[in-house]
Amino acid sequence: GAGVSQSPSNKVTEKGKDVELRCDPISGHTALYWYRQRLGQGLEFLIYFQGNSAPDKSGLPSDRFSAERTGESVSTLTIQRTQQEDSAVYLCASSWRGSREEKLFFGSGTQLSVL
Amino acid sequence: AQRVTQPEKLLSVFKGAPVELKCNYSYSGSPELFWYVQYSRQRLQLLLRHISRESIKGFTADLNKGETSFHLKKPFAQEEDSAMYYCAPPMNYGGSQGNLIFGKGTKLSVKP
């Protein structure tokens, strides 16, 4: 595709429900990142994948959050038993980890609203 | 921990005034830092990177090793510069393990 694609673009859910957010990175990009952006706040790093592996999951806010990546491509961020404080825009970015001057390409995000 | 820091959450200037968005870092050597920008209702995107020594949309950023800073500057701000600006760490710095923790961001508001 032309860029990083995220789906859905908007998700409204009830407190306590599980949600899955999807990210399709740019083809060939080996690195994939998830960030959270609360209203009026900066970027909060969640997790990073190199290939299908996530070397460090310490950025995930709680054990209700999990993420996986398959085929060195699509990644899914799952939030179980959603809470109102999970409401935010969830951003995905990808890059090719080949050099120090590489850049991140961001998706347009998933706006999650937990009622 | 190694990081980038943006001390200002909000910066408001008038059109035509100079603007400087501050970023300080704690990496050793000459880190390859970046500035990203997010305009209203648009994707977060790269503005400029240290290694390119470029000027994008009139913005420049110089790495100052003595002050460990990478401030973003523009001599004459325009209303269309209003956006959220993020200072970003090196992409592939030894020891970072891929946890790219951006600065908290500075919201620039350029008033007419």
Its domain, for residue A19, covers: 5-98
Q: Look-up: residue for tokens 């950025």?
A: A59
Q: Are B7 and B104 in contact (CB under 8 A)?
A: no
> Best residue in B41, B92, B108 to probe A by mutation, most A CBs within 10 Å?
B92
Q: How far is the C-alpha of A47 from the C-alpha of A33, rounded, in Å? A: 6
Strand partners, A36: A44, A90
pLDDT at B95: 45
For B42, the token pair is 């648009």
Give the residue on B whose Cα is nearest the Cα of A96: B91
> Tens digit of pLDDT for each residue in A66-101?
999 999 899 999 999 999 999 999 999 998 875 656
Whether A110 maps to a domain, the answer reads no
Per the structure, how many domains does chain A have? 1
Q: Which domains does chain B have, with CATH numbers?
A: 4-111 (2.60.40.10)
Sheet hosting strand A19-24, strand order edge to edge: A5-7, A19-24, A75-79, A65-69
Query: Which amino acid belongs to residue A103?
Result: K
CATH of the domain at A55: 2.60.40.10
Percent share of chain A, pLDDT over 70: 96
A86 DSSP assignment: G
Give the residue on B whose Cα is nearest the Cα of A6: B43
